[in-house]
Every structure is written in C-alpha cells, then in structure tokens.
Amino acid sequence: MALAKKKVAVQLPRRAHSEVVAQRYALELEALAPVADIVEVAGSSAVEFAAGAKDADAIITSWGIHIDRTVIDQLDRCVVIGVGSVGVDMVDIEAATEAGIVVTNVPDVFIEEVADHAVMLLLAAGRRSRIMQRMVSEGDWFKGRSLLNDVPRLMGQTLGLFAFGNVARCTARRAAAFGLRVIAHDPYVSELTISEAGVEPVSFPELLERSDYLSIHAPLNAETHHAFDAAAFAQMQPSAVIINTARGPIIKEQDLISALAEGRIAAAGLDVLEREPIAPDNPLLGMDQVVLTPHVASATTRMRPETRRRVGREVALVLQGRWPLSCVNPTVLPRAPLERWQPYPMNRGPNR
C-alpha cells in the first residue's frame, strides 16, 4: 500500500491566480510531488497561519508572515522550513533549532545577480547618476562636469566588504576588473580564506576608515542589526559611498539620512531599506546623492524558477529522510533522524 503523502504548507499568495495549486507550484513539485502535497494556508497573522499549518510536515516561505516562535510552538509535525532566499531573517532560527526543525535556504542560486547589482549601485552612486539624469532632463547639460571633477577615478580606490560570503566574493572578483583594492571584514571567515581570494582581511574599524566604497553583504541578525549607525558613519571618510544589497535594518536609516545630509559621507546606493516599501515622505527620496532600487538585486529571468526548484529539492530531501544541501542551523542535524549523504561539504547558510 502506498504511503500517505506529507503536507507542505505555504502562505496563500498576495496575488493568487485562478490556476490550481499543482500548476502554481509546478516548479517546487518537480522534487516534492513523489513525497508531498502543497497546501496553501490563508492567514493574515502568525496565529492564523500557525493554526492552518499545525499539522504540516514542512513549511515553504520567503515573504509575508514571520515564522516566529508563536508559529513554531504550534507546529506538531514540522521537520523542515524551506526559505526561498539567502537571508533567513523571516524565520526564528533559535526557536526552530530548539524544536528540532531543519531550516534550509538557497545560498548560491542568485549570488551572481546580486553581485552585479551591488556593482551597478556602486557605479551609479559613485558617478552621481541620479543628479546627472536630472541635469539632462532639466537642460543643465554643462553643469555635470564640474560636479564630477570632485569625484576620484575608480581605479585605485578601496572597496570594503562587510562580510565575505558568496555574494561578497563574487563582488570582489568584479571589483578587481575595475582596478579596485578590496578589503573585507568577516569574523566568521578565516583570514587565510579572505587572503586567498586576493582580498585583505581587516577589522571593522579599519573597514570603516579605509573604504572609499563600502558594500554590505551580511545576514541580518542581532549582531549586524544597526551595525552602521551614527558612530560608524563618523569613522568613515566624507567621500565614502555606502552600498547595501543585503538587508535594510543593517543600516540605522535615520543615522544614514543625517550623515548624508550633513556631508559626513558622500553618497549611497540602496536596494534594501529599513522599512519596505519606502514611505512617500522618506528623505532618501529627495537626495540627489542616493540611488534607490526596490529590493530587486536578485531579479533576473532565471532567479525565480531556479529558486523555487531549489527550495522544493531541499524540502523534499528532508522529507525523504536525508540531509539538505544547505542547512542554516546544522546543529540540529545530529539530533534529526536524517541520513548524511552529500558527496561534497554542506553549505551551512549565512554566517552559521
């Protein structure tokens, strides 16, 4: 007799279309179909979602309701939470680990795309593309050159990387092509590993002091939350440009606004913000030295399909009793009845 399929809960999409679940989640089901069915759970709060997912064997998430302790404590059968992004700040990792739930992510699906976007923001903010566009639109054709006469050429400048994970390493390779010196701070990566990539390992204060361009690539957690505040900006060069394609709350936004307004740093390129979407009255919108994009650094034609397939594969592996390819909380694995099978080292998620 065939074994009953397991249940994978996902939050009901904000813009659900009329197709059946099997069509909507066809990419995830490429791996999941033999072992599980996907069930959409409606709920506008953590309590409502927890009630709908109570008997789920797995959860897939990447947006919407935070899978916090309130939700996790109500899960009777869940063994894995699959996150469709690199960052996992939408899941309470500590609570999941205590409950023996494996948390997986997709740490290497769209790293090249995010690195491309980080470099785009670096160039756009550094060359003041926003004000240049406005000058062209307003007929001030001859004013741009005098402004850029104060901007150093890119070659020979120093790019600082806050964290040295997958995206930062891709960004470092791109930076080398522009003739940038690259330094990095990451207490979770050995100095030897950083040096082998042609990057100089430095302390956090040195990163702030030396960077002409500073690009953030860290996960959001208690350690990195508001790492860039007024005290950090005070240590940076007045000509510095800060780039963020990681998570918005790593920067204390009001302190950034003040630093830009007062000329304590020169410019910013931001794909992520402390509160998203951005409020219409946010001062960043009116700053010519700021380039903004709407949290789209990973977006390309291949990103969503590959991410969805990878999440489905990770969750399917765990439901079949095997280790996932990537685990954010690997300390839970020895306690889980899962087979270790990988032919290569596991990717252990962001700074864990």
Catalytic residues, by residue number, are: 247, 276, 295
β-pairing, 181-185 vs 80-83, is unpaired
Rounded CA separation 213/101 (Å)? 39
Element of type H or E holding 200: strand 200-201
* 347 DSSP assignment: B
Q: How many CA atoms lie within 13 A of 84 on its CB side?
A: 21
Sheet holding 102-104, edge to edge: 36-41, 6-11, 58-61, 80-83, 102-104
**Contact yes or no for 333/342 (Cβ under 8 A):** no
Closest CA to 163 of 249, 93, 244: 244
Beta carbons of 83 and 59 less than 8 angstroms apart: no
Q: How far apart are the first and last CA of the chain?
A: 41
CA atoms 189, 191, 195, 199: torsion sign: positive
Answer whether the bond into residue 277 is a cis peptide, omega within 30°: yes
Q: In what order do the strands lie in the sheet with 158-162?
A: 200-201, 181-185, 158-162, 213-216, 241-244, 267-270, 290-292
**Half-sphere exposure of residue 74: CA atoms within 13 angstroms, side-chain side:** 14
**Alpha helix positions (H), the chain:** 21-24, 26-32, 46-52, 69-72, 93-98, 111-126, 129-137, 144-148, 166-177, 191-196, 204-210, 230-235, 253-261, 303-319
